[in-house]
Chain A
Amino acid sequence: MDRAYGEEPRSFMLVSRHNNSLSSTGRSAVLGSFVFVSAAISLAFALHGAWMILPFAGAEIAILYLAFRAIARRAGDYESISICGDRILVERWESGRPTRFEFNRLWVQVIVHPGRGGGAGALAVRSHGREVEFGRHLTPEQRAEVARTLKNQLGRARRS
């Protein structure tokens, strides 16, 4: 991830992800426990002649699976900002869809919009009339910290 094929190495990179309290192993374990319990109940009744419980149990597990799959896709969402030679790259991965914005390192500005209640609002990078937000999963304090770090890094890169 630090270096895509044919690209210069990235001298700086920050990745921000959603908060997910359930691991992928946890997701499988939870789903597995539902499959086991539902299958045991519906098969036991089917063996006694009440087979019509089976399709409902199956449909329910299918919905549950779709819900967990949606969570798994969202769990992979991230935003990254990196310095790659003369370029600043802002990359997003949302529900399996990648988006990428490129800026010139020497022209880019780091903007922190004022937030409600006086804290740091949206954090963005801006250049030539284009503005792209970064750090949507972060707290205002974390955004302020990221903004300071980014400004330092850009300053260092410009001086070098």
Chain B
Amino acid sequence: MEAVHGHDHAHDHHGPTGIMKYLTTTNHKDIGSMYLWFSFSMFLLGGAMALVIRAELFQPGLQIVNPEFFNAMTTYHGLIMVFGAIMPAFVGFANWLIPMQIGAPDMAFPRMNNWSFWLLPPAALLLILAQFTPGGPAGVGWTLYPPLTIQQGMSMDLTIFAVHILGMSSIMGSINIITTVLNMRAPGMTLMKMPLFCWTWLITAYLLIAVMPVLAGAVTMLLTDRHFDTHFFNPAGGGDPVLFQHIFWFFGHPEVYIIAIPAFGVISQVIPAFARKPLFGYSSMVYATASIAILSFLVWAHHMYTVGMPVQAQLYFMFATMLIAVPTGVKVFNWVATMWKGSMTFETPMLFAIGFLFLFTIGGFTGLVLAITPVDVQLHDTYYVVAHFHYVMVAGALFSAFAGIYFWLPKWIGKMYDEGLGKLHFWLSFIFFNLAFFVQHFLGLAGMPRRIPDYSLQFTDFNMVSTIGAFGFGLSQLLFLYIILKAIRSGEKAPQRPWEGADSIEWTMLPTPAPYHSFEKPPVIR
């Protein structure tokens, strides 16, 4: 008998088991989970490096590590956290949520999706191997500025290759997200009906496609300067190290938004659910996100006011940078307006979302301070900058990731986390985060430079407070791991809609937990 069986029969959950299941899976949920676990393991590794930095800075003088190793820790902490932890975390969210939120069965290119994940572990391995190469790990900072990078040992080459591989993974992931969001929306799911998370990822994917070749080109030119006698950036051969800074920050500033914009998407889903009101100003949120993305291409040189540039350029970059506060303000006001007169409850996802809102706004304001050229000339490369970007990256992106994980965990695994422990995790994270980083504003204002293992005696007290906060924050994340494992092993069964205000289609049209294949047939959205 010749028979051609239906899609829903052919894709029943057969196939390899064990490790081969994960090596070969093309299911967006499996791949999303792998991204999230990978990201968490990188978060712990990068966090351990941060604790080495903070332990050394607990007291003035050199106690624990030598300066070269300290520099390596600052370098790899930054690279691992940005490329290994935060970016993959949001790609994990994208994999899990985009098909379920637009009514698609999977991503547009499932095999490419598998490949883009499996490029990450080799890249992480290269970054880890770089610690053990002859000449020691590179201590150049995550910005990889030449000419120092040209003078480093073999670890620099491994780092460059790792950045290349991570970039390839990002490009493939972006292509998948763009094609999925644009081409696989269910009938009736118009662009302006999509949940905001999908919008933010569509815009982020555009940014990634635009800037990843810039990073790839930059690190390749570093490589050829190191080994093939080119002189793009080597002043000894007539090259221009400042050109590298322009190229790097042309990638690097949009990169900040590549991390922040999906975080905005998560928050835009969580706040309406717990305020029990629709998101205020949906379309203005979409346009504000797009405006932030466009502006992010026009402000890169505010990271390099001190390298020397014409005063007209300084003025331009100062005003252009301040302009970003307008669409960002639109978003913050819309989130606040969504909560206004809402029937709010404060479960863990909402606590992290409000924590995000409060702390990210502080990070935004200190960004405005740093945008002012004469102020930045004073504060450049001080701990004020470190405090600023940790408010954006940790309290912004990481808190949003926590909010998202607590929010969607019941949908993903069909079990509830321990609410009491979740709230404890939030309060510990919130308090210790501020203990670690708020005091760094004072250190920066007092003139303590970043990326040094030793400092003058007058900075001691605030550094001690910061180190205590950092260790408290780090240990609190082990509680997060415990909460997740406890939920997976013995969490209470989640109801169909654990959050009554959650109204996107993954909550209203799919069972909890979500089935292995979400929408085998596209739902009709009205």
Chain B residues within 8 Å of A138, by CB: 521
Which chain A residue shows the least CB distance to B167?
A56
Pick the most buried of A22, A55, A115, A124: most chain B CB atoms within 10 A of its CB.
A22
Which chain B residue shows the least CB distance to A72?
B183
Per the CB 8 Å criterion, the residue count for chain B at the interface is 45
Known: A34-B209, A139-B521. A116 touches B8 (CB 8 A): yes
Chain B residues within 8 Å of A49, by CB: 232, 240, 243
Pick the most buried of A52, A63, A70, A121: most chain B CB atoms within 10 A of its CB.
A52
Chain A residues within 8 Å of B1, by CB: 129-131
Q: Is B273 part of the binding interface, using a Cβ–Cβ cutoff of 8 Å?
A: no
Q: Is B156 part of the binding interface, using a Cβ–Cβ cutoff of 8 Å?
A: no
CB of B65, distance to nearest CB on chain A (Å): 35
* Mask: chain B, 4-17; 1 = CB below 8 Å from A; 0 = not: 11111100000000
CB of B181, distance to nearest CB on chain A (Å): 9
B residues 186-236 with Cβ under 8 Å of A? 186-187, 189, 206, 209-214, 216-218, 220-221, 224, 232
Q: Specify the main secondary structure of chain B where it touches its partner.
A: helix
Set A45, A68, A75: member contacting B214, Cβ < 8 A: A45
Chain B residues within 8 Å of A56, by CB: 212-213, 216-217, 220
- A37 to B207 CA separation, bound complex (whole angstroms): 10
Which chain A residue shows the least CB distance to B105?
A19
Set A42, A123, A124: member contacting B213, Cβ < 8 A: A42
Q: Is B342 part of the binding interface, using a Cβ–Cβ cutoff of 8 Å?
A: no
Which chain A residue shows the least CB distance to B214?
A53
A contact residues vs B (CB 8 Å cutoff): 19-22, 26-27, 30, 34, 37-38, 41-42, 45, 48-50, 52-57, 59-60, 63-64, 67-68, 70-71, 75, 113, 115-116, 121-124, 129-133, 136-140
Known: A116-B8, A131-B2, A140-B521. A71 touches B108 (CB 8 A): yes
Q: Are B209 and A30 in contact (CB under 8 A)?
A: no
- A71 to B183 CA separation, bound complex (whole angstroms): 8
A-B pairs with beta carbons under 8 A, tally: 124
Q: Are A50 and B217 in contact (CB under 8 A)?
A: yes
Q: Are B247 and A53 in contact (CB under 8 A)?
A: yes
Known: A19-B184, A45-B214. A50 touches B221 (CB 8 A): yes
Which chain A residue shows the least CB distance to B188?
A21
4 A-B pairs with least C-beta separation: A53-B217, A122-B6, A56-B213, A21-B185
Chain A residues within 8 Å of B8, by CB: 115-116, 121-122
CB of A119, distance to nearest CB on chain B (Å): 10
- A145 to B475 CA separation, bound complex (whole angstroms): 59
Known: A53-B214, A121-B6. A38 touches B183 (CB 8 A): no
- A50 to B223 CA separation, bound complex (whole angstroms): 13
- A67 to B181 CA separation, bound complex (whole angstroms): 13
CB of B7, distance to nearest CB on chain A (Å): 5
Known: A64-B209, A129-B1. A50 touches B183 (CB 8 A): no
- A59 to B164 CA separation, bound complex (whole angstroms): 13
Chain B residues within 8 Å of A75, by CB: 183
